[in-house]
Chain A
């Protein structure tokens, strides 16, 4: 070595000087990390990532390929049984899905009435986690997708279990993701039950804590934590984790959160590349009132016009449920009369009447077979008021049959909006004045 340096002393010094300057340059120079990105990164950082990540990518692909080969073609023990179990599960889920779709449709319509803007996940890209920072103080991971795949800085990253983090550095084929348990990370969250909002932060130890929660708040262990959408990164409603330990003392609570995603064992993640902000569909709902929306959920009468002689209880068969005919009660911000269990079934021969005011303070019930999912059945006095804006037509029954959502009672009656077929509506089964329907938002 000495001989080499002695012989090529000047060249060695030149090389050393160039090398040092190169290192210094690499430290100072910032390179645009991708074409679309406005952010830049130090050249040294770009070089280091470019040197390390191809090897990581290769290893992960080899590992995945070998694993797939083994699991897909060799190790198939118990697959038939698992297939049967999954098919059974699928059938159950399909039934559940039907019910949830109905609920979601109704929720969306109600939200649109409120002018509620919600962000939806429109497009995602699946990515594989290929590496980490290797430091416990820097909780970042690398994924095998970059700007050429449409990844941009600030995009949220999720897994099947919950949120993971956000993209903070993008190169052409690799991106760096800051995990939610890093101490420089922050996520706007909301508790599922108590609707308490807070900022989720990471600690140096890798724990997640809910920051700045006042000590008088009631935070229960095990309650689910969801994204609130307030950080403008994660769409609202994504699972974050569950409340772990809650320590009291001082002005603020120390609320630990167990992450839903396995942040220490990430393999595959989804990068949300496109979010859609859904505007309220004014055209669709302008003529629709909350009463109409809820009415669509109610079961329908058969095609034939209801026979006047039939009683409410006959119409609904053996089901002896009664419900105030107040679909408008679901209107946001309006007190809702709730269904009641068969305390007062109309007497035989009762003629269904159109919606009409009922003296204030009377307990008004009506027959209705629909259970409306989990709506509790109680008796509640109805405060009647004169209906406005044609509310009387909104709760009229039509003769159009309609499929009943899974899990609900057999269809007997339904209330349909008047705008659709006002002329063909039959008299309602039994009606009562809508509670505060005049306040229903249009």
Chain B
């Protein structure tokens, strides 16, 4: 599980075609809304978050990362009955953070991806819980064991997903 710093020269910046940039997030949101109906265990995963992390780390642009997070988060909010912006803010911060980290770390290795994804999942959940409790007034209970298990599960799925999605990347 190697985590290595990357020099400026080593940074590869990627871009994605418009169809990929639009359809992949939509597909992730669709699967997130559809699959838990058939497989209730699937609700532990957060596919839109994984997509935000992947795009942000690949593009390595903070503006692009936060924008991706904001759009995907707002779309995810739209399917709930809560006010718009709870997921939006959480994913905006994660998108910004992931792209910032992508500049400094070699995010191509499996180990880095595992650590980064699980870390950002926890960050996402902390922000989400904070906003949902303080602003929206939801009665949520933080359970560390559940969140850590979910973080690891999302990281594992994330690594697999990122490997598949690496094929969609284009050098900028």
B79 to chain A, nearest CB (A): 5
A76 CB-CB contact with B under 8 Å = no
Contacts of B105 in A (CB 8 A): none
A79 CB-CB contact with B under 8 Å = no
A121 to chain B, nearest CB (A): 25
Closest B residue by C-beta to A168: B81
A77 CB-CB contact with B under 8 Å = no
Q: A203-B139, A265-B40 are in contact. Are A52 and B79 (CB under 8 A)?
A: yes
A293 CB-CB contact with B under 8 Å = no
Contacts of B32 in A (CB 8 A): 134
Are A204 and B141 in contact (CB-based, < 8 A)? yes
Closest B residue by C-beta to A47: B78
Contacts of A204 in B (CB 8 A): 138-141
How far is it, in angstroms, between the C-alpha of A45 and the C-alpha of B37 when the chains are bound? Answer: 21
Tell which of A135-143, A280-288, A303-311 binds the partner: A135-143
Are B78 and A45 in contact (CB-based, < 8 A)? yes
B52 to chain A, nearest CB (A): 14
Chain B window 115-141, contacts with chain A (Cβ cutoff 8 Å), 1 for yes, 0 for no: 000000000000010001000001111
User: Which of A23, A131, A138, A267 contacts B81, CB < 8 Å?
Assistant: A138
Closest A residue by C-beta to B61: A1
Contacts of A169 in B (CB 8 A): 81
B11 to chain A, nearest CB (A): 15
User: Which of B29, B37, B38, B140 contacts A141, CB < 8 Å?
Assistant: B37
B68 to chain A, nearest CB (A): 13
The number of A-B residue pairs with CB atoms under 8 Å apart is 96
Are B75 and A137 in contact (CB-based, < 8 A)? no
How far is it, in angstroms, between the C-alpha of A411 and the C-alpha of B28 when the chains are bound? Answer: 68
Closest A residue by C-beta to B128: A137
Are A264 and B15 in contact (CB-based, < 8 A)? no
B85 to chain A, nearest CB (A): 8
B10 CB-CB contact with A under 8 Å = no
A183 CB-CB contact with B under 8 Å = yes
Are A131 and B132 in contact (CB-based, < 8 A)? no
Chain A window 395-433, contacts with chain B (Cβ cutoff 8 Å), 1 for yes, 0 for no: 000000000000000000000000000000000000000
Chain B window 20-48, contacts with chain A (Cβ cutoff 8 Å), 1 for yes, 0 for no: 00000010011011101110100100001
A184 to chain B, nearest CB (A): 7
Are B36 and A44 in contact (CB-based, < 8 A)? no
A52 to chain B, nearest CB (A): 6
How far is it, in angstroms, between the C-alpha of A59 and the C-alpha of B30 when the chains are bound? Answer: 11
| Chain A: interface size category | 35 or more
> Interface majority SS on A: helix, strand, loop or mixed?
mixed
Are A131 and B37 in contact (CB-based, < 8 A)? yes
How far is it, in angstroms, between the C-alpha of A264 and the C-alpha of B64 when the chains are bound? Answer: 36
A320 CB-CB contact with B under 8 Å = no
How far is it, in angstroms, between the C-alpha of A52 and the C-alpha of B32 when the chains are bound? Answer: 11
A399 to chain B, nearest CB (A): 63
Are B80 and A138 in contact (CB-based, < 8 A)? yes
How far is it, in angstroms, between the C-alpha of A47 and the C-alpha of B141 when the chains are bound? Answer: 32
Are B29 and A52 in contact (CB-based, < 8 A)? yes
How far is it, in angstroms, between the C-alpha of A104 and the C-alpha of B21 when the chains are bound? Answer: 61
A252 CB-CB contact with B under 8 Å = no
Are A52 and B84 in contact (CB-based, < 8 A)? no
Are B140 and A132 in contact (CB-based, < 8 A)? no
How far is it, in angstroms, between the C-alpha of A362 and the C-alpha of B40 when the chains are bound? Answer: 66
27 contacts between A and B (CB under 8 A): A1-B15, A27-B84, A44-B74, A44-B84, A47-B78, A48-B75, A49-B78, A49-B79, A52-B26, A52-B79, A56-B33, A131-B34, A132-B79, A133-B79, A134-B32, A135-B43, A137-B132, A138-B79, A138-B80, A138-B82, A182-B81, A204-B138, A204-B140, A264-B40, A265-B37, A265-B40, A267-B37
What residues of chain B have their CB less than 8 Å away from a CB belonging to chain A? Answer: 15, 26, 29-30, 32-34, 36-38, 40, 43, 48, 74-76, 78-82, 84, 87, 128, 132, 138-141, 172
The 10 closest A-B pairs by CB, nearest first: A48-B78, A138-B80, A134-B32, A134-B33, A133-B80, A264-B40, A131-B33, A45-B78, A133-B79, A204-B140
Q: With A27-B84, A48-B74, A205-B141 given, name 12 new contacts (CB 8 A).
A: A45-B84, A48-B75, A52-B29, A52-B33, A55-B30, A56-B30, A133-B80, A133-B81, A134-B80, A137-B82, A137-B128, A183-B139
